């Protein structure tokens, strides 16, 4: 088998899907809205892992592309469990537009016995190649940061021990999975407060950016003494931490500009 030729479309699909979901996140942020997507990663399964899975599931080599659905994998991380379902809605809205949803697997409601929690969506995605359009399978995993931390550790241990995970390690993993679940629950309880703080920080950041843009523009028009006074005024207001006064200062600069 020419693995380089086989995996090339999967690599292309991963890169395209990463760009699409990162663009969705950027759009939310550009509009000063909260983004349910925290960050996005992707990977193409290693050849050794593909062959190992094919052997385990008794899949002939010539049927690998038809029967292994996670050769291309995208992982979308969210801050809160509620965000996962918002991302799911975003993906469902794209169904039969630039991708086709094949199957959804809810391992959040139906947690695996190991403690694994995540939401998987299997899609078929069209890749434009030099030989024409090719539809391939890809798996999108959507999970919280806590779920991802646990899953990353569990995957490393399972890879090390294969099918011989020591009982003590498995018990500790189960306890850690419960701790990750409780963390997500706690974060859900304080979600509104966290979002308010993040929104306040974003507004403050935007305001400071506007002030500096105005000051830089005025730097071309005003003398050094006037500019020093403006900077001193800004730093005084900044140290006071009074957002109302900073807003008034920003508005006064806009009128000057």
Instruction: State the CB neighbour count (10 A cutoff) for residue 51.
Output: 16
80 CB burial (10 A radius; 0-12, 13-18, 19+):
buried
**Nearest of 30, 113, 40 to residue 83 by alpha carbon:** 40
What distance in Å separates the CA atoms of residue 39 and residue 52, rounded to the nearest whole number? 29
Q: Is 139 a catalytic residue?
A: yes
Residues forming beta bridges with residue 141, ordered by sequence position = 75, 120
- Write b or e for each residue in 211-248: b if 16 or more Cβ atoms lie within 10 A of its Cβ, otherwise e: beebbeeeeeeeeeeeeeebeeebeebeeeeeeeebee
Token pair 């991802």 is found at 148
**In 3D, which of 204, 217, 218 has the Cα closest to residue 32?**
204
Residues 16, 65, 69, 139: which is the catalytic one? Answer: 139
Question: CA 116 to CA 160: how far, in whole Å?
Answer: 17
Pairing of strands 72-78, 132-144: parallel
What are the tokens at 223? 């003398």
Active site residues: 139
């Amino acid at each position: 088998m020419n693995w380089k030729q086989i995996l090339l479309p999967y690599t292309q699909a991963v890169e395209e899907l990463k760009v699409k979901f990162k663009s969705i996140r950027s759009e939310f942020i550009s509009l000063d809205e909260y983004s349910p997507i925290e960050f996005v990663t992707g990977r193409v399964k290693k050849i050794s892992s593909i062959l190992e899975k094919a052997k385990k599931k008794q899949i002939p080599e010539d049927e690998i592309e038809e029967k292994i659905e996670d050769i291309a994998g995208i992982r979308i991380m969210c801050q809160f469990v509620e965000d996962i379902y918002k991302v799911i809605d975003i993906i469902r809205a794209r169904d039969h537009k630039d991708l086709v949803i094949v199957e959804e697997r809810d391992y959040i409601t139906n947690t695996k016995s190991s403690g694994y929690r995540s939401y998987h969506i299997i899609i078929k995605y069209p890749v434009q190649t030099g030989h024409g359009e090719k539809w391939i399978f890809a798996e999108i995993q959507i999970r919280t940061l806590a779920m991802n931390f646990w899953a990353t550790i569990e995957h490393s241990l399972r890879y090390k021990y294969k099918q011989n995970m020591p009982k003590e390690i498995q018990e500790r993993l189960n306890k850690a999975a419960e701790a990750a679940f409780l963390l997500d629950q706690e974060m859900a309880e304080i979600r509104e407060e966290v979002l308010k703080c993040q929104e306040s920080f974003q507004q403050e950041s935007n305001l400071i950016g506007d002030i500096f843009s105005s000051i830089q523009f005025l730097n071309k028009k005003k003398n050094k003494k006037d500019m020093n006074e403006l900077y001193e005024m800004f730093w005084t207001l900044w140290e006071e931490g009074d957002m109302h006064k900073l807003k008034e200062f920003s508005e006064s600069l806009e009128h000057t500009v």
